[in-house]
Amino acid sequence: MKISHILFSAILVQVGLNMGAAWAATEPSQAPLYSAVPGAKPNLMLVMDNSGSMGYEYPDSYSLLNTCKGGEGTVYLSGSWRNCSNYNKNGIESYYGWYSMRSNDFNLQYYNPAITYLPRVNANGVAQSNPLVFIDNQSSGQFNYSAPAAGYSINSGNDRFPLYTEYSSAISAKGTFTYVRCAKGDCSVANRTQIDITYPPSGTVNLPAGHNRTDCGKNATTCSKVQELQNVLNWYVWYRSRSLAVGTAIGQALQSYENKFRIGYLQYNTIGNKSYATASSIQRGVRYFRDDSGNTANNWKTQLYDWLYGIVPAGGTPSHQALSLVADYYSGTSSYAGSTNVRSSYGNPWKNDPVSTSVESNAQDLACRRSFAIVLSDGAWNKGTSINANSQYASNDGTQSFSGKPGGELRDAEIQSQRCIGL
């Protein structure tokens, strides 16, 4: 008997959604996947959203149309940019976007002094070295993201953000990095605290109440600016965008599961030759989550980490298509999403040796192996990307076949309107 589950784990821009019956029907088990079936290591397909929005450094709700800092900067009013100095009220600033865009209380993806940003780890668990010694963020402007390998670029329109200058050498490093703590997201004069770090850093910073920092000492209330700068640099290099944060977190989380899973992967869009396209196949079938010291070709754990950290955001959000490709792979067919040579190219996920392309047998292979797909995405799919939306992928070997519809009632439009990924 084959047991196949397709589960979603979504990174939501909006929280506190009322999913009702739909959530109850699709909520994954909180027990470790590998503990339920001793002897048969579960299959796990990682499905990564690498659409263009995964390169964003801000949530979808972000809106900020001024760079005002006292009388400095500009503000977008009545369809044009105007000097901030003309729009102060009785000498008191009425626009303070320069401070808001540098506050995690306004932009949830910006640096948060209450969090320790740990480095990325390599496949062997060793932390990566941060290549930067300093970043300056005093200028403001339009956010621009580009992926030259995909021939892809996007910008923030009239919304404004901090602009960064990177320094990898202590000899040339200069400038100031600023973050601002704003009471309840209000960055007006009376409600903000500004923290500046210059190079070389000196002095200390006060940590916010209820912080979760672990890098400044037990029960610390302050951090040295040297420690604070390192935390800032870790955030900038490994957590600044949605894609960076997801890749870093997954790489850290998988470290404790050495050889407890067989893991494969795919991404929404393929990248190459200065172009991008909706993926028509998975990137790799499941392989044991380990490296083979005797055969570098079987360094499957390292291969996964190389893929995970090399993902480039570009293109749309064809969530249904991506999940259909997983179903293709698990079922061994090639008719659902137009993929070909599923087993001959990627191996058989039901074999003890998942590289094998042969048919499974009772004599050689275990009879029951749980199989999962975890989708990591930042929001709803794009209209028109659904492939075989009415196809059901349920086990026919058991005594009961389930439709797979969450709650059995919600229509696609209703699920999409909640900005959540679901089946």
Q: What is the pLDDT of residues 5-54, one digit of tens each?
A: 444 343 333 333 333 333 334 455 555 554 444 578 999 999 999 999 99
Q: Give burial (CB, 10 Å; 0-12/13-18/19+) of 373.
A: buried
DSSP string, 310-333: T----S---HHHHHHHHHHHHHT-
3-state secondary structure of 356: coil
317-356 confidence digits (pLDDT tens) = 999 889 888 988 888 776 555 555 567 789 999 999 999 9
Which contiguous run of DSSP H or E holds residue 80?
strand 80-83
**Percent of the chain whose predicted confidence (pLDDT) is above 90:** 66
Where residue 419 falls among pLDDT bands split at 50, 70, 90? very low
Please give the Cα distance from 239 to 115 (Å, whole number).
Answer: 11
pLDDT for residue 235: 98
Please give the Cα distance from 150 to 212 (Å, whole number).
Answer: 38
pLDDT for residue 400: 41
Q: Which long-range contacts (CB under 8 A, 24 or more apart) does 105-109 make?
A: 105/180, 105/181, 105/182, 105/183, 105/184, 105/185, 105/187, 106/64, 106/182, 106/185, 106/187, 107/57, 107/58, 107/59, 107/62, 108/59, 109/56, 109/57, 109/58, 109/59, 109/240, 109/241, 109/242, 109/245
- pTM for this entry: 0.84
67-110 confidence digits (pLDDT tens) = 999 889 999 999 999 999 999 887 788 999 999 999 999 999 99
For residue 287, is pLDDT > 70? yes
Instruction: Give the residue from 204, 2, 187, 3 showing the smallest Cα distance to 102.
Output: 187
The contacts of residue 258 (CB under 8 Å, 6+ apart) are 289, 290, 301
Whether the bond between 201 and the residue before it is cis, its omega within 30 degrees of 0, is no
pLDDT for residue 20: 38
203-229 confidence digits (pLDDT tens) = 999 999 999 999 998 899 999 999 999
